[in-house]
A and B are shown apart, each in its own frame.
Chain A
Amino acid sequence: MSQDTVNIIIDGVEIQATAGQTILEAADAAGMYIPRLCHHPDLPPGGHCRVCTVKVNGRPASSCTFPVSEGLVIENDTDEINAQRRRIIEMLFVEGNHYCPSCEAGGNCELQALGYRLGMLAPTLPYLRVKRELDATHKDVYIDRDRCVLCGRCVRASSVVDKKDAFGFENRGIKKRLSVDAVHGLGETAVSAADKAAQVCPTGCLTVKRVGYATPVGRRKYDKTPIGAEIEKKTAKV
């Protein structure tokens, strides 16, 4: 065992992690799935959505940003935490305008998939029904803010990977919205459909044009396989 190895316990299971990893990365490596929405493996963690919240030594913390250290005791897959996660997903559904039946992201959408995995049949909160702007000014990519969950993946990807800083947030609280670095919309930015930013949206908000509905219902990513199954498979082999 090298000096870099730390021992942590997740849901009663002892796992070995590497110093410098976050709890979420360590859990992934051990084949234990922690539900997450704003996190993307190719991007620095954001800690925005709080879906990946776990209890670390009894206190809630976002596992995508919390570094591992020797002896951490973590609760992840408990009724209490999953109920809180389901409530976050419900809030995102009622605060946005998510018309799943007509959305290109349907079946490949991580918001939907989390709803399925966490057992949401219908949101129990009232819908907000706020009008949000669609930006179709770009020839290859569009923004449908009805579907935005403010995860910030495109903001981080455009900044860190594409080096374009084309996206950002404006306003705060319930009025917070995805903005672009141009006066007249996305079409004036340097964004291209090949950018990382255009590939990482968990929902159908930032979508490449003319490629939707390519996969038939029944063969889409989450039609038969729950989100997180690809991570949990790793332990099945051991």
Chain B
Amino acid sequence: MAKPLVATGFFTGCFGCHMSFLDIDERIIDLVELIEFDKSPINDIKEFTRPVDIGIIEGGVSNEENVEFLREFRKHCKILIAIGSCAITGGVPSMRNTVPLKECLEEAYLNGPTIQNDGIIPNDPDIPTMLDKVYPCHEVVKIDYFLPGCPPSADTLWAALVALLQGKEVALPYELVKYD
């Protein structure tokens, strides 16, 4: 039987959830026996090549590119898991949500104390257009499981992944579910 395919991706976040995932230490050797990675920053595969069993995503949704990639993940993954505070609540990037986007950009690029001469708000077609707010992933696509934490601990990620690979529901012990 072919190994289950896993894809991972990150949107607006700090990549800390992926670092926590790598914190499974030597269990990573078991992991390569258990699964195969498709699109993921871990192996640098950029595009989905086939349907995937489990998708794991970190980060909130703050621009058009995030929306497009998140929809790609939903389209290709049978099970989609949102991990970490940013994916679930918008997290630290969502602190801008209570300030209008125009004011954010003006403060960063025109009026901030570190601006020298005349600043300019970047408007290159290669830069993804920002959304009005940072959204949690489940406000954009359907998410099947949530693993909160900032980041979720390696034990949390491992326990959830192993349960799913065994075809079980994810039921985490108390100390593995934290919002911070």
Interface residues of A (CB under 8 A from B): 93, 97-103, 106-107, 112, 115-116, 121-124, 126-127, 129-132, 217, 223-224, 226
Contact = CB atoms under 8 A, between A and B. Distances in A.
A206 to B, nearest CB: 19
B82 interface: yes
Closest 3 CB pairs of A and B: A101-B150, A131-B98, A100-B179
A224 B148 contact: no
A127 B90 contact: yes
Given A121-B177, A122-B89, A129-B97, 13 more contacts: A101-B91, A101-B92, A106-B179, A112-B180, A121-B88, A122-B148, A126-B139, A127-B90, A129-B98, A130-B98, A131-B98, A131-B99, A226-B174
A225 to B, nearest CB: 8
B136 A100 contact: no
Interface of B: 82, 85, 88-92, 94-95, 97-99, 133, 136, 138-139, 143, 145-148, 150, 174-175, 177-180
Contacts of A226: 174
Contacts of A101: 85, 91-92, 150, 179-180
A103 B98 contact: no
Contacts of B88: 121-122
19 contacts: A100-B89, A101-B150, A101-B179, A101-B180, A106-B179, A107-B178, A112-B179, A115-B179, A121-B88, A121-B148, A122-B89, A122-B138, A127-B94, A127-B97, A127-B139, A131-B99, A217-B180, A224-B174, A226-B174
Contacts of B147: 121
Contacts of A103: 180
A131 B175 CA distance: 32
Contact of A122 (B82, B97, B174): B82
Residue among A101, A115, A132 with the most chain B CB within 10 A? A101
Contacts of B85: 99-101
B88 to A, nearest CB: 5
B146 A122 contact: yes
A116 to B, nearest CB: 6
Contacts of A126: 139
A121 B177 CA distance: 8
A99 B88 CA distance: 11
B174 A116 contact: yes
Contact of A100 (B82, B133, B146, B180): B180
Contacts of A115: 179
B157 to A, nearest CB: 14
Contacts of A99: 85, 89, 91-92, 94-95
